[in-house]
Amino acid sequence: MTSAQKLSFDVQHNDHARTAAEREQVLANPGFGQTFTDHMIMIDYTEGSGWHDARLMPYGPLSLDPATSVFHYAQELFEGLKAYRQVGGSIVAFRPHANAARFNRSAARMAMPELPEDAFVESLELLVEADKEWVPTTEGHSLYLRPFMIATQVGLGVNYPSKTYKYMVIASPAASYFTGGIKPVSVWLSTEYTRAAPGGTGFAKCGGNYAAAFLAQRQAVENGCDQVVWLDAHEHEYVEEMGGMNLFFVFGNKLVTPELTGTLLPGITRESILELAGDLGLETEERLVSVEEWQEGCASGELTEVFACGTAAVVTPVGSVKGEDRSWTVADGTPGPVTMRVREELVGIQYGARPDTRNWIHKIL
Ligand SMILES: *Cc1c(COP(=O)(O)O)cnc(C)c1O
C-alpha cells in the first residue's frame, strides 16, 4: 500500500457471538479488561509492501511460531482509549486522533512501522460498530479499546527490527474504576527502581515499560501502598509518574504537572486537563517537581491537592505518600475540590453532560 491508498477492511462476522443474555450478564458486572467482545481487528504489515489484509474478524486466540520475535525481544506497543455511550444515546470516542498520533510516535521509537491515522481511527470505528451492543449503558461504564502492534518475524536474529508486524484492536467492557465512591490512593516513592532513563523508551507506550515496573508495583503493595510513584533515573528526586498515570500538584488555583522530559508518557488526559484548566479558572505550569517540594508543600499547606490522571481511572486523588525514610499525607487525605471539579468536567465532556467546545468528541454511532 502506498500512503495515498486507503486500506479497505474485510468484514467477517462472528457466527458464534454470545447471546444477548450472556452479554447482559457480563455487562452487569464488567470489571476491567476481563471479558472481550465478539470481534477484533487485524492488519498485517510486510516490509516492502506495507499494510495489507485489514479485517474485522471473530475474537479468538492467535497461533504464532515460538520463535516469533515479539516473544524474545519485546518489539511491541499499545494504546488505550474508551468508547462512551453518551446521554443522548450516541457512541463516541474521546480524541482518538491523539491516540493515533501517539501510537505512531511510539512506533517510531520502537523501529516499527507507522499506521496511517485514518486507518487507526477507522479500525476503532469498525470494531465499535460491530460490537455496539457491548458498549455499556450504565453511567460511568465504557467500552475499553486496546489497539496494539507486535513484531511477527520468525527467527532469533537480533541485529535488525522485524520485517513483519501485526496491528490488532480488542475491546472490553469496563466498569467505572471506582465502585462505591472516589477513594484516594496511597503511593510508594520508588528509589530502588527506575521506570525510564534519558534516551530510553519512557515516552513510548510499550509493554517493556510495564514489564520493568511490576517489581516496583509489588514493592509498593508490600509497603502498604496502592501505587508506585516513579522518580527521575539520575537523582531519584524529581517526580515523573504514578504507575500508568500522570500526576498533577495543586497549589491553590494553580495546577503544576511534571514537564515532559522524554522519560514521561505524554498522557492525553494530562494534555486535556492542561487545556481545560483555564475554563475552570485554574492556572497551569509544566516544570520539574521534586519530592522535597511535594513534602514541604504539604507541610506548609501551600500544596493543597495531588491527583493522578489517565484514561482508565480519569482523575484519581492521591491521599498519602510513603518512601524508605518518610511518609506524609496530602492535606487531610481526602479528595479535594479542584480534583473533583477537574474530574467532573472531563467526565462531563466524555459522556455528553458538558459542551464539547474543543471538538474532542468523535462520534462513532
Ligand atoms: C497510558 C499511560 C498514561 C496515561 O495516558 P492517557 O492517554 O491519559 O490514558 C500515563 N502513564 C503511562 C505510563 C501510561 O502508559
pLDDT (tens digit per residue) in 294-349: 999 999 999 999 999 999 999 999 999 999 999 999 999 999 999 999 999 999 99
Determine whether the shortest distance from the Cβ of 258 to ligand 1 is under 6 A.
no
pLDDT of residue 5: 65
Determine whether the shortest distance from the Cβ of 246 to ligand 1 is under 6 A.
yes
Nearest CA to ligand 1 atom 15: 244
What spacing in Å lies between the alpha carbon of 310 and ligand 1's midpoint?
Answer: 5
Cell of 135: 458498549
DSSP 37: -
Average pLDDT, the chain: 96
Query: Which residues make Cβ contacts (< 8 Å) with residue 26, sequence separation at least 6?
Result: 18, 35, 173
The predicted-structure confidence for 73-128, as pLDDT tens digits, reads as follows 999 999 999 999 999 999 999 999 999 999 999 999 999 999 999 999 999 999 99
Which ligand 1 atom is nearest residue 81's CA?
9
Instruction: Please give, one letter per residue, the 3-state secondary structure of the chain.
Output: CCCCCCCCCEECCCCCCCCHHHHHHHHHCCCCCCCCCCEEEEEEEECCCEEEEEEEEECCCCCCCCCEHHHHHCCEEECCEEEEECCCCCEEEECHHHHHHHHHHHHHHCCCCCCCHHHHHHHHHHHHHHCHHHCCCCCCCEEEEEEEEEECCECCCCCCCCCEEEEEEEEEEECCCCCCCCCCEEEEEECCCCCCCCCCCCCCCCHHHHHCCHHHHHHHHHCCCCEEEEECCCCCCEEEEECCEEEEEEECCEEEEECCCCCCCCCHHHHHHHHHHHHHCCEEEEECCEHHHHHHHHHHCCCCEEEEEECCCEEEEEEEEEECCEEEECCCCCCCHHHHHHHHHHHHHHHCCCCCCCCCEEECC
Determine whether the shortest distance from the Cβ of 245 to ligand 1 is under 6 A.
yes
Spell out the domains of the chain, with CATH numbers in brackets: 10-174 (3.30.470.10), 185-351 (3.20.10.10)
Contact 313, 246 (CB under 8 A): no
Determine whether the shortest distance from the Cβ of 80 to ligand 1 is under 6 A.
yes
Query: Which residues make Cβ contacts (< 8 Å) with residue 360, sequence separation at least 6?
Result: 94, 95, 272, 349
Nearest CA to ligand 1 atom 10: 245
Q: Does 145 score more than 80 pLDDT?
A: yes
The predicted-structure confidence for 16-63, as pLDDT tens digits, reads as follows 999 999 999 999 999 999 999 999 999 999 999 999 999 999 999 999
Nearest CA to ligand 1 atom 14: 244
pLDDT of residue 139: 86
Pairing outcome for strands 361-363 and 91-94: antiparallel
pLDDT of residue 177: 77
Looking at the chain, the whole-number percentage of residues with pLDDT higher than 90 is 95
Strand partners for 249: 256, 306
User: How many residues are given for the chain?
Assistant: 365
Q: Does 4 score more than 70 pLDDT?
A: no
Nearest CA to ligand 1 atom 6: 267
Q: Does 2 score more than 60 pLDDT?
A: no
pLDDT of residue 181: 78
What spacing in Å lies between the alpha carbon of 265 and ligand 1's midpoint?
Answer: 6
Determine whether the shortest distance from the Cβ of 152 to ligand 1 is under 6 A.
no
Nearest CA to ligand 1 atom 13: 244
Pocket perturbation via mutation, ligand 1, pick of 274, 276, 311 by most ligand atoms within 8 A of CB: 311
Determine whether the shortest distance from the Cβ of 269 to ligand 1 is under 6 A.
yes
The predicted-structure confidence for 244-299, as pLDDT tens digits, reads as follows 999 999 999 999 999 999 999 999 999 999 999 999 999 999 999 999 999 999 99
Determine whether the shortest distance from the Cβ of 96 to ligand 1 is under 6 A.
no
Please state the pTM of the whole predicted model: 0.97
The predicted-structure confidence for 227-239, as pLDDT tens digits, reads as follows 999 999 999 999 9
What spacing in Å lies between the alpha carbon of 266 and ligand 1's midpoint?
Answer: 7
Determine whether the shortest distance from the Cβ of 244 to ligand 1 is under 6 A.
yes
Nearest CA to ligand 1 atom 5: 267
Contact 32, 144 (CB under 8 A): yes
Q: Does 1 score more than 50 pLDDT?
A: no
Which ligand 1 atom is nearest residue 241's CA?
11
Which ligand 1 atom is nearest residue 102's CA?
7
Determine whether the shortest distance from the Cβ of 319 to ligand 1 is under 6 A.
no
Contact 257, 239 (CB under 8 A): no
